[in-house]
Structures are given as C-alpha cells and as structure tokens.
Amino acid sequence: MVQLLTELIKRLRKTSPTDRQVLALFSASILLLTGLTVMWLATSTRSAMLAAELEMLEARHAQLTNAINTLWSEIGEITSPQAMHERARAAGYRPAARIEFIGTSTTDSSEALHRSP
C-alpha cells in the first residue's frame, strides 16, 4: 500500500504542473463530495432515529395517558355512590337515624382557652 502511494506520488511529480492542478482539484472535489455525503447520511440517520424515538415516545405517552385514564375510570367505578353504598352496607354501616348538632361559640372557646392555665 505504501509502495503504491510512493509510486503514485513519484509519477505525479513527473507530470506537468497543469495536470497536477487538475488532479488536485478533482481530488478535492471528490473529498468534498464524500464529506457532504457523509454529513447528509449522518443527519438523515439522526433524523430517522429521532423520528423513530418520537413515534415511540408518542406511543408511550398515549399508553401512559390511557393507563392514567383507565385508573381514573376505575376510581370512578369504585367511588360511584352506588358502589360506595353497597360496600358500606356490606360492611355493616347504616344511615344515621338522627344527627345531633352541638352549638358552639368561637368567642366562648377562645375565652376558655385564655382562661385555661
């Protein structure tokens, strides 16, 4: 490989300066083109990867939203008055026959607090 390159350089030295310039220009163009192609491929690959990741995240987001909403739906079923009543009755609870209200006065209690040692 090294011999081949050495031979190539030797031959190039023997050619006219105009030919060398043409060749240099041609080589530079090829290099630039290759560089651009590599850059385009890298960007495209990155875009494709991002697009795939985005799709995956969207799907995951939809799954999670669905999981959250399914849980809300289950909470809704469990906390619906009908279900709550059935469970409360099964647990032995009954509606109170009578509710007692105790009259309180905030002024009295604050005074009482002040009076307490």
Partner 1 sequence: MQHSPISEARLQVFSSTIALLMLLAVARSVQVQIIDSPRYANVAARQQLETVHISAPRGIIFDRRGSPLAVSKIGYLLRANPRALTDVMTTSAVIASAIGQPAERIQQRLEAIIRDQGNLTPTLSSIVVYNLPLEKAIDVARGLRQSGREGIQIEEYWMRVYPSGQLAGPLLGFVNLEPAGYVGVEGYYNQQLSALVGLRQGRAKLELQTISPSERGSDVILTIDSELQNFAEKRLQRALEESGARSGVVIVMETTSGAILASASAPGFDPNRALEIASQGGLELLTDPAVSSPYEPGSVIKPMTWAIAIDTGRVSATSILTDSGRLEVYGKRIFNSDRQTHGTVTVEDVLALSLNVPTARMAMELGPETFYAYMQNFGFGSITGVDLAGESTGVLRTPRNVEWSRIDLATNSFGQGLSATPYQVLNAFNAIANDGMLMQPYVVHEWRRPDGDNIRRQPVQARRVISKQTARIMRQLLAKATRRATPEALLPGYPVAGKTGTANWYRAGVKQKTTIVTYVGTLPADSPRLTILVKLDEPTVSPWAAVTTVPVFRDVAAYAVRLLGIPPQSPP
- Of 79 and 116, nearer to partner 1 (C-beta) is 79
Give the residues lining the site for partner 1 (CB under 8 A). 44-45, 47-48, 51-52, 54, 58, 62, 65-66, 69-70, 72-77, 79-82, 85, 96, 99, 101, 103
CB burial of 35-57 (b: ≥16 within 10 Å; e: otherwise) equals eeeeeeeeeeeeeeeeeeeeeee
21 in helix, strand or coil?
helix
Minimum distance of partner 1 from residue 33's CB (angstroms): 19
Minimum distance of partner 1 from residue 89's CB (angstroms): 14
- Of 91 and 96, nearer to partner 1 (C-beta) is 96
Give, in order, the Cα–Cα distances in Å from 70 to each of 65, 66, 83.
8, 6, 17
